[in-house]
Amino acid sequence: MAITKLIADSITSGAIAKGENFFKARNASATATLTHGASVLLPYDTEEWDPDGVYDNTASNYKFTCQKAGYHYFEAGGRKDNNDFSRQLSLLFYKNGSSVGGVEFDTYNNDHIRTYSVKTSIILNLSVNDYVQVYMYQTQSDGGNNGYSGNINNTFAGWRLPQ
């Protein structure tokens, strides 16, 4: 009883911050073609959590839109499918349409990356109405394309950090 009251008092006094602007989406069934040498928007088409309505899971959007300014943490996972090898593979965060970081693998002139899952995270300082999306980039020595489809590793989540 005393611990419950202590926790309740801490939350109402602001000593323990509540999460805001949080969401989690995953790719349940959408597919995408990972075009050689181009960044392709990844479709996270199913919302798992979105109590504040900050994530848009409609085609060609797939984005988080900031409702309260501050620092936000994001994490994303994506899985390249197919049996075709890639030379480069990147999973990138985009803020307002521009790349702001992520993770990149490069086999330096050898196509070795086949079916591969990639995860990355980032902290961004956002203003109200800034938006964040996730893209995947891949290249192949022969200029070919690859695929992306529903998988348990394909998730995109984020929340505003306590400030």
Per-residue pLDDT reduced to its tens digit, 67-95? 999 999 999 998 777 666 666 778 999 99
> Do the Cβ atoms of 103 and 90 come closer than 8 Å?
yes
pLDDT at position 65 over 90: yes
What percent of the chain has pLDDT above 70?
A: 73
Report the distance separating Cα 115 and Cα 157, nearest Å.
Answer: 22
* Pick from 18, 21, 11: nearest CA to 68: 21
Assigned CATH for 20-160: 2.60.120.40
pLDDT at position 153 over 60: yes
Q: What is the mean pLDDT of residues 117-124?
A: 91
* Local structure of 116: helix, strand or coil: strand
Report the distance separating Cα 160 and Cα 163, nearest Å.
Answer: 9
Every domain of the chain and the residues it spans: 20-160
Higher pLDDT, 132 or 30: 132
What contacts 2, CB < 8 A, 6 or more positions away?
none
